[in-house]
């Protein structure tokens, strides 16, 4: 039995994809490997049956820096992010590994399934809600949509859907009106549990988007969690999109993304010394404060995508009683 420590210090969304590679390694070769990890998002591995603590200094323990070079072919080959780490691990170990599920591998304990959500605790009862993120990290501002456009979506569904705004306090998250504000109030594991209780997720290509697919639904809910992604033209849809999400992209609509995603990092230079300020890493077609590809996605399109889940019956609207219970807690 080979003993492996897999390392990666990228963003939490990347780590969600790494959980899939570990799952698929054990599915392809049961009993052949003992695996441990050293990553930037340790809480995502809680309760994972494929993780066994290993001493990196012990005899026979191998360490492997995990990468996904497949991304460099994402504009021209038909692969999803779910293949990225798996293909690299297969190559490094010299064994075949194939994806077994179209999602990351996040596990909940029985206690976590029984715990009430933070929304339940604040309102005093279980009500349906959607998670929304209005910004993100400053390293990839090309992923951001305009806060006033998220606001238009929230306003459209007033008294019909409860939106819960989340995000790390150290990142940029423009405040929204009429939402339950949990920005900076969830650690990573609390966010996992919040997603478990959420009816849907709205935002950009992001960590919550990957959690929307990877975290199991609560008992009695549909098999897959609704998610509306405002994606624009930065990344090819087949690399990021999950089959049960509404992935709003503009690939092919603009010259700068007519052959796949542009993969640019920033709209404008931030002067923080990052290589992402380099002109080669900045958007080449800006409209106001948005990449042109994001500007093309209007609030009406996002409203229609959210409403599709309501019309189809996979989620339901708030009852008047539920809306009234939530109203005093919403941001003014």
| Structure tokens belonging to residue 200 | 């849907």
The pLDDT score that the predictor gives to residue 265 is 98
Residue 293's pLDDT is what?
98
Q: How far apart are CA 88 and CA 75, in angstroms?
A: 18
pLDDT value, residue 182: 98
Q: Per the domain annotation, does 106 fall within a domain? A: no
222 assigned to some structural domain = yes
State the average pLDDT over residues 155-170: 97
pLDDT, tens digit, 9 for 90 and up, residues 190-227: 999 999 999 999 999 999 999 999 999 999 999 999 99
Residue 51 located in a structural domain: yes
Query: What are the pLDDT digits (tens) for 90-140?
Result: 999 999 999 999 999 999 999 999 999 999 999 999 999 999 999 999 999
pLDDT digits (tens, 9 = 90+) for 13-35: 999 999 999 999 999 999 999 99
Tell me whether residue 132 is in a domain: yes
Examine the domain organization and report whether 123 and 158 are in the same domain. yes
Alpha carbon distance 88, 202 (integer Å): 30
Residues 166 and 270 in one domain: yes
Give pLDDT, residue 198. Answer: 98
On whether residue 180 sits in a domain, the answer given is: yes
pLDDT digits (tens, 9 = 90+) for 320-331: 999 999 999 999
Domain count, the chain: 2
Q: Are residues 206 and 300 in the same domain?
A: yes
147, 287: one domain: yes
For the segment 294-310, the average pLDDT, to the nearest whole number, is 98
Domain for residue 219, yes or no? yes
Dihedral sign (CA 48, 49, 50, 56): positive
Q: Tell me the per-residue pLDDT of 75-99, one tens digit each, with 9 for 90 and over.
A: 999 999 999 999 999 999 999 999 9
Share of the chain above pLDDT 70, in %: 100
Nearest to 41 by CA among 81, 83, 9, 1: 9
User: What per-residue confidence (pLDDT) applies to 117?
Assistant: 95
Same domain, 15 and 147: no
C-alpha span between 213 and 249 (Å, rounded): 18
Q: What is the pLDDT of residue 74?
A: 97
Q: Is residue 302 part of a domain?
A: yes
If asked whether residues 86 and 221 sit together in one domain, one would say: no
Quick one: 75 and 206 in the same domain? Answer: no
Give the range of the structural domain holding residue 16, as residue numbers without chain letter: 2-93
Average pLDDT value for the chain: 97
- Distance between CA 34 and CA 177 in Å, rounded? 48
Last residue of a domain, one of 34, 65, 93: 93
Question: What per-residue confidence (pLDDT) applies to 246?
Answer: 98
Q: Is there a single domain that holds both residue 89 and residue 118?
A: no
66: helix, strand or coil: coil
Predicted confidence at residue 80, as pLDDT, reads 98
Angle of helix 207-214 relative to helix 12-28, nearest 10 degrees?
30
């Amino acid at each position: 039995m080979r003993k492996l420590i897999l390392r990666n210090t990228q963003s939490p969304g990347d780590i969600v994809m790494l959980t899939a590679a570990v799952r698929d390694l054990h599915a392809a070769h049961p009993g052949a490997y003992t695996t441990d990890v050293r990553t930037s998002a340790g809480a995502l591995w809680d309760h994972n049956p494929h993780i066994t603590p290993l001493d990196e200094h012990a005899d026979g323990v191998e360490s492997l820096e995990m990468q996904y070079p497949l991304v460099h072919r994402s504009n021209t080959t038909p692969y999803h992010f779910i293949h990225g780490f798996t293909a690299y691990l297969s190559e490094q170990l010299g064994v075949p590994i194939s994806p077994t599920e179209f999602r990351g591998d996040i596990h909940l304990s029985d206690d976590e399934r029984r715990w009430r959500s933070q929304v339940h605790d604040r309102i005093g009862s279980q009500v349906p809600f959607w998670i929304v993120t209005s910004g993100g990290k400053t390293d990839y501002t090309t992923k951001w949509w305009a806060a006033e456009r998220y606001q238009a979506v929230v306003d459209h569904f007033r008294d019909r859907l409860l939106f819960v705004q989340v995000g790390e306090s150290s990142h940029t998250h423009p405040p929204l009106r009429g939402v339950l504000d949990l920005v900076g109030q969830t650690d990573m594991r609390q966010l996992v549990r919040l997603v478990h209780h959420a009816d849907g997720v709205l935002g950009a290509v992001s960590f919550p988007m990957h959690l929307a697919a990877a975290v199991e639904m609560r008992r009695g809910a549909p098999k897959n969690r609704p998610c509306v992604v405002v994606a624009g033209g930065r990344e090819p849809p087949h690399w990021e999109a999950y089959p049960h999400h509404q992935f709003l992209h503009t690939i092919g609509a603009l010259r700068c993304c007519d052959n796949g995603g542009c993969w640019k990092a920033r709209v404008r230079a931030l002067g923080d010394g990052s290589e992402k300020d380099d002109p080669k890493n900045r958007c080449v077609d800006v409209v106001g404060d948005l990449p042109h590809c994001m500007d093309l996605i209007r609030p009406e399109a996002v409203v229609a995508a959210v409403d599709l889940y309501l019309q189809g019956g996979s989620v339901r609207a708030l009852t008047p009683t539920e809306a009234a219970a939530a109203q005093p807690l919403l941001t003014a």
